[in-house]
């Protein structure tokens, strides 16, 4: 055996003695096999500290072998195949050892966005910047004339809300029960919202986005969200279930083996979930939310007073008079609507007792849903929930007395999370940063989120977190 081979074998034995992890050891051995013989002998001759050998090998640039142009063009053995979340790279010749080492480091300027898609409002939370967008989930279309007429986006968000009374503009909500109902409208809305959040013309090439979605979403609904995001220019898209994201944002010990219960009351849906071991162990949902509160108030006013009111008026009534209990103190509010008989404006006075009656049906539906999840939860976690109680998040948590109502009906302690409106989107941002950091450091996620494939999507702790690139 010649001297260069002996030098490389000695270097290999030194690397083995250091006890490096498999991937780094493989990377170093690959460099040893390709460095010039003279360099190997110099490294051995000046070897004072075995650990100091590693950076010297990683910093050695390896020239491409002109005798093997085809192998140099297609060699991808240095790429980590055990982590499918790494995006593929275009073949561009044999990279140097330095380039290989840099491929394990985070991309400079990478952008992480967490998006909470709700039928009422869409929230976007940017890593390092906090909440950067809070807009109504609306898209305004104009219909073009001619034989090949179609829809043209006029505005999104609050600008679309301002065009709601324009007779030539059609304002729609592309989301239905927290998932996409109108793909074109949702794609345009997501794109415009991210542009606004990012303050640029398009998403950064390294943007990674996580969406908070209902835990009971179908594969078709999940695929619609990821397709819309990827079409809008995201590099990678993750999906996390709403209760898990809210639990992380509320600071619950989601990694504990003991269970914690989270209830999110959003615009179109209420979800209850028990979180333990980094994922959901029990979940349930009902399509009742704050939108149902407004609709119940509008229906009550129409039935009992013969007056038609709009969504904004119903929302103002809910904010002023809404309460989950019959309050002993009587409060009143004067509102104006359209008389159904005469078709003319008419003012009426409503009391908080009337609004309590109007909200009784949707509130009973929410209570029943939470009770059903508690009943279906394993006794192993029942004692944990009895001790830790229930945490509320979402816009519905702001309804006065709803925590006391749930505490009375379930017999459990109930509290409202800090900043319940942004609880889920903050939790999604934390989860995305954790998963990306674990990816960069090339270790299993501390959230116990292991990759496996479900329906063509990379799924992590289903139904907790999904990923697609």
The answer as to whether 313 is a domain residue is yes
Q: Are 280 and 273 in contact (CB under 8 A)?
A: yes
Q: For residue 204, what pLDDT is reported?
A: 54
More confident residue, 75 or 27: 27
The answer as to whether 374 is a domain residue is yes
**Residue 446 pLDDT level (bands cut at 50, 70, 90):** very low
Q: For residue 236, give the nearest of 99, 95, 439 by alpha carbon.
A: 439
More confident residue, 104 or 198: 198
Q: What is the mean pLDDT of residues 451-458?
A: 32
Task: Return the H-helix or E-strand segment holding 134.
Answer: strand 130-136
What is the token pair recorded at 314? 């119903």
Pair 315, 458 in one domain? no
The answer as to whether 311 is a domain residue is yes
Q: For residue 411, what pLDDT is reported?
A: 93
Pair 428, 392 in one domain? no
Residue 124: which CATH number? 3.30.420.40
Pair 356, 453 in one domain? no
Pair 332, 405 in one domain? yes
DSSP letter (8 states) at residue 163: T
Pair 29, 79 in one domain? yes
Domain of residue 452: give its range. 112-137+173-250+423-468
The answer as to whether 391 is a domain residue is yes
Taking the C-alpha atoms of residue 421 and residue 6, their distance in angstroms, rounded to an integer, is: 65
Percent of residues, the chain, with pLDDT higher than 90 = 33
Q: For residue 154, what pLDDT is reported?
A: 84
The answer as to whether 148 is a domain residue is no
The answer as to whether 151 is a domain residue is no
The answer as to whether 354 is a domain residue is yes
Pair 301, 217 in one domain? no
Pair 410, 461 in one domain? no
Q: For residue 370, what pLDDT is reported?
A: 95
pLDDT, tens only, 314-330: 999 999 999 998 888 89
Pair 121, 246 in one domain? yes
pLDDT, tens only, 48-82: 555 556 666 655 544 544 444 433 333 333 332 23
pTM: 0.69
Pair 260, 399 in one domain? yes
For residue 391, pLDDT beyond 70? yes
Do β-strands 236-241 and 465-468 pair in parallel, antiparallel, or remain unpaired? antiparallel
What is the token pair recorded at 296? 């119940």
Q: What is the mean pLDDT of residues 256-285?
A: 91
More confident residue, 300 or 154: 300
Pair 263, 404 in one domain? yes
Q: For residue 200, what pLDDT is reported?
A: 45
Q: For residue 157, give the nearest of 143, 176, 138 by alpha carbon.
A: 138
Q: For residue 60, what pLDDT is reported?
A: 56
For residue 18, pLDDT beyond 90? no
For residue 460, pLDDT beyond 70? no
Taking the C-alpha atoms of residue 449 and residue 459, their distance in angstroms, rounded to an integer, is: 9
The answer as to whether 146 is a domain residue is no
Pair 298, 356 in one domain? yes
Instruction: Please give the tally of structural domains in the chain.
Output: 3
For residue 207, pLDDT beyond 60? yes
pLDDT, tens only, 393-437: 999 999 999 999 999 999 999 999 999 999 999 999 888 887 767
Pair 128, 209 in one domain? yes
**Residue 441 pLDDT level (bands cut at 50, 70, 90):** low
Q: Are 173 and 138 in contact (CB under 8 A)?
A: yes
Q: For residue 278, give the nearest of 254, 262, 257, 245 by alpha carbon.
A: 254
């Amino acid at each position: 055996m010649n001297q260069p081979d002996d030098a490389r074998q000695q270097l290999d034995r030194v690397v083995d003695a250091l006890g490096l992890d498999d991937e780094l050891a493989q990377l170093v051995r690959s460099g040893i096999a390709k460095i010039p013989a003279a360099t190997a002998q110099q490294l051995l001759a000046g070897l004072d500290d075995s650990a100091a050998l590693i950076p010297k090998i990683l910093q050695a640039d390896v020239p491409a072998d002109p005798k093997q142009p085809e192998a140099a063009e297609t060699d991808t053995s240095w790429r980590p195949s055990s982590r499918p979340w790494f995006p593929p790279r275009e073949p561009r010749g044999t990279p140097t050892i330095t380039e290989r080492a840099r491929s394990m480091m985070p991309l400079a300027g990478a952008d992480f966005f967490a998006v909470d898609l709700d039928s009422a409002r869409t929230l976007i939370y940017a890593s390092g910047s906090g909440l950067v967008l809070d807009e109504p989930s609306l898209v305004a279309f104009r219909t073009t004339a001619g034989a090949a007429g179609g829809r043209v986006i006029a505005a999104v968000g609050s600008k679309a809300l301002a065009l709601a009374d324009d007779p030539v503009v059609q304002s729609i909500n592309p989301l239905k029960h927290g998932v996409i109902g109108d793909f074109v409208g949702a794609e345009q809305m997501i794109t415009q919202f991210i542009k606004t959040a990012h303050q640029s013309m398009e998403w950064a090439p390294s943007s990674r986005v996580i969406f908070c979605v209902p835990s009971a979403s179908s594969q078709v609904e999940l695929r619609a969200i990821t397709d819309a995001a990827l079409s809008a220019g995201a590099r990678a898209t993750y999906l996390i279930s709403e209760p898990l994201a809210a639990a992380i944002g509320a600071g619950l010990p989601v990694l504990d083996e003991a269970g914690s219960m989270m209830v999110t009351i959003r615009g179109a849906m209420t979800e209850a979930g028990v979180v333990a071991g980094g994922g959901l162990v029990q979940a349930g949902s009902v399509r009742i939310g704050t939108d149902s509160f407004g609709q119940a108030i509008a229906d009550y006013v129409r039935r009992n007073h013969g007056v038609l009111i709009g969504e904004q008026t119903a929302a103002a009534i809910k904010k002023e008079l809404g309460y989950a209990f019959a309050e002993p103190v009587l409060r009143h509010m004067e509102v104006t609507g359209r008389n159904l008989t005469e078709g003319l404006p008419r003012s009426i006075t409503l009391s908080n007792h009337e609004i309590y009656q109007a909200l009784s049906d949707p509130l009973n539906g929410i209570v029943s849903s939470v009770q059903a999840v508690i009943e279906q939860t394993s006794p192993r976690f029942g004692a944990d929930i009895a001790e830790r109680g229930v945490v509320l998040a979402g816009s519905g948590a702001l309804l006065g007395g709803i925590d006391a109502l749930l505490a009375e009906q379930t017999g459990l302690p109930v509290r409202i999370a800090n900043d319940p409106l942004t609880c889920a989107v903050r939790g999604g941002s934390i989860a995305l940063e954790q998963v990306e950091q674990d990816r960069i450091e090339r270790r299993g996620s501390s959230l116990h989120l292991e990759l496996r494939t479900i329906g063509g999507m990379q799924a992590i702790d289903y139904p907790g977190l999904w990923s697609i690139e």
